[in-house]
Amino acid sequence: MKRIEVDVDLLREFERGLDPRHPERSRVPARVLGYGEISTVFAIEVEGMCGLAFKRLPIFHTEEEMGKYRATYEEYNRLLEEEIGLSLPPHGYAAFLTDTGRPIFYIVQQELPALSVGNRAIHLLPRQDILLLVRRVLQELCKVWEFNRRQGYWQVGIDGQISNWAIAGFDPEHPHLDEGTRLDYMDTSTPLFRVQGMEQLNPELFLRSAPPFLAWALRLLFLEDVVNRYYDFHRVAVDLVANFYKEQRPDLVPDLVAVVNEVFSQEAPHLGVPPIWEKEVRAYYREDAQIWSLYLSARKVDRFLRTRILRREYPYILPEKIQR
Ligand SMILES: Nc1ncnc2c1ncn2[C@@H]1O[C@H](COP(=O)(O)OP(=O)(O)OP(=O)(O)O)[C@@H](O)[C@H]1O
Ligand SMILES: [Mg+2]
């Protein structure tokens, strides 16, 4: 796999001119490609950066911590690509300290066409092809759990959300896919894997972007559960189908539940994954949507406190309202 190398000085310059509250008004022109629950992905529109997607992680306290993350990130990419056989976009990273001494890590990937990303493509594809897309995603996910089963040294977790996959060769003018269409997996920023049962990523990092007044509660109530979810094929599939509520396509959910259960029982019976239920997906979605909108509101309160009251820097970029 070809590594992407980037000019760190250009990124430093970008970081200098970045206004986290209004990323589109940055001194170095940038376009937001996507907001996740935790991070932001940009295209930076200057020579030498074109065609690349940058995912910015301002969560580290020390360089040493960032160094550990880098090693975990690299090993995760290797596992997915070489041991498991998923297709990832060409990628690399950049790590440096900002002028104020804050460690910043950028995941760099080839920029994939916006409309080929799952959560966009499903609004263009005909119904049958959406069902096929989800089947193809599940087939890719099967590779992960087959790997986890075939050896005992590593256990790999993955976030199967529809927005984490891009359809290779997608043509928005003739939206279509078939059995052989390649899917590229993009969301490698949460490198969850265990070596002989030991979690390699420091789960505390998940909490870094959380308001301090919430962190202790989140740690107590959710952290372990959220981490474990990525290792559980049943729950990853529930999460994948639940995305269709968020994407305003609840009409597809019953058929998608059937697709999941068909894959579980016919293509991967050896994995022994219990079937999912529509009721379960609905209940999960309600809870998940509530948690995340609460979380976003709390982060906005935290931003207000830090910037307006304490007059301090707030390094995170927050999305405006997310439709759910
Ligand atoms: N290489 C890329 N090319 C084009 N768009 C991308 C690329 N990587 C990410 N994006 C866009 O940004 C969105 C969020 O990216 P990604 O899934 O990697 O992070 P995330 O969901 O924010 O992860 P987390 O919630 O763990 O922070 C994607 O759904 C996609 O729309
Ligand atoms: Mg994602």
What lies within 8 Å, CB to CB, of 96 at 6+ separation is: 8, 11, 12, 103, 104
Ligand nearest the Cα atom of residue 190: 1
- Mean pLDDT within 197-225: 83
CB-based contact 96:39 (threshold 8 Å): no
CB-based contact 101:126 (threshold 8 Å): no
Q: Is 167 helix (H, G, I), strand (E, B) or coil?
A: strand
Portion of the chain with pLDDT greater than 90, in percent: 70
The rounded Å distance from CA 54 to ligand 1 centre is 9
CA-nearest residue for atom 23, ligand 1, is 36
* Ligand 1 atom with least separation from CA of 163: 29
Closest CA to 303 of 100, 12, 22, 15: 22
Q: What would the pLDDT profile of 77-90 be if each residue is shown by its tens digit?
A: 999 999 999 999 99
Q: Indicate the range of 112-116, 206-210, 277-281 predicted with least confidence.
A: 206-210
Cα dist from 38 to 89, 278, 295, 318, whole Å: 21, 27, 10, 8
- Mean pLDDT within 8-18: 92
Q: What are phi and psi of 42, to 5 degrees?
A: -120, 155
Portion of the chain with pLDDT greater than 70, in percent: 97
Output the six-digit token pair for 47: 């020579």
CA-nearest residue for atom 20, ligand 1, is 36
Helix 253-262 / helix 127-150 crossing angle, nearest 10 deg: 40
**Which residues form ligand 1's pocket by a CB distance below 6 Å?**
33-34, 36-39, 41, 53, 55, 89, 109, 111-112, 117, 163-164, 186-187, 189-190
CA distance 111 to 114: 8
CA-nearest residue for atom 19, ligand 1, is 36
pLDDT value of position 12: 94
The rounded Å distance from CA 92 to ligand 2 centre is 18
pLDDT value of position 19: 83
Q: Indicate the range of 18-22, 71-75, 217-221 predicted with least confidence.
A: 217-221
pLDDT value of position 323: 59
Output the six-digit token pair for 10: 């250009």
CB-based contact 109:186 (threshold 8 Å): yes
Q: What are phi and psi of 177, to 5 degrees?
A: -145, 165
Closest CA to 34 of 162, 160, 135: 162
Q: Is the pLDDT of residue 1 over 70?
A: no
pLDDT value of position 213: 76
CA distance 264 to 256: 12
Q: What would the pLDDT profile of 221-280 be if each residue is shown by its tens digit?
A: 778 888 999 999 999 999 999 999 999 999 999 999 999 999 999 999 999 999 999 999
- In whole numbers, what is the pLDDT of the chain averaged over residues? 91
Pairing of strands 154-156, 30-35: unpaired
* Domains within the chain, CATH numbers bracketed: 8-110 (3.30.200), 126-309 (no CATH)
CB-based contact 156:147 (threshold 8 Å): yes
pLDDT value of position 158: 98
The rounded Å distance from CA 186 to ligand 1 centre is 6
pLDDT value of position 178: 94
CB-based contact 112:88 (threshold 8 Å): no
Q: Is the pLDDT of residue 32 over 80?
A: yes
- Mean pLDDT within 67-72: 97
CA-nearest residue for atom 31, ligand 1, is 34
Q: Is the pLDDT of residue 321 over 70?
A: no
* Ligand 1 atom with least separation from CA of 41: 12
Q: Is the pLDDT of residue 137 over 70?
A: yes
| E strands present in the chain | 30-35, 40-44, 52-57, 91-97, 103-110, 154-156, 165-167, 183-185, 193-195, 198-199
The rounded Å distance from CA 266 to ligand 1 centre is 31
Tally of CB atoms within 10 A around 124: 17
pLDDT value of position 172: 97
CA distance 291 to 112: 30
pLDDT value of position 263: 98
pLDDT value of position 167: 98
Q: Is the pLDDT of residue 64 over 70?
A: yes
Output the six-digit token pair for 143: 């590779």
pLDDT value of position 22: 84
Q: DSSP assignment of 263-297, as one string?
A: IIIII-GGG-PPPP-HHHHHHHHHHHHHHHHHHHH
CA-nearest residue for atom 1, ligand 1, is 111
Q: Indicate the range of 34-43, 128-137, 152-161 predicted with least confidence.
A: 34-43
pLDDT value of position 26: 84
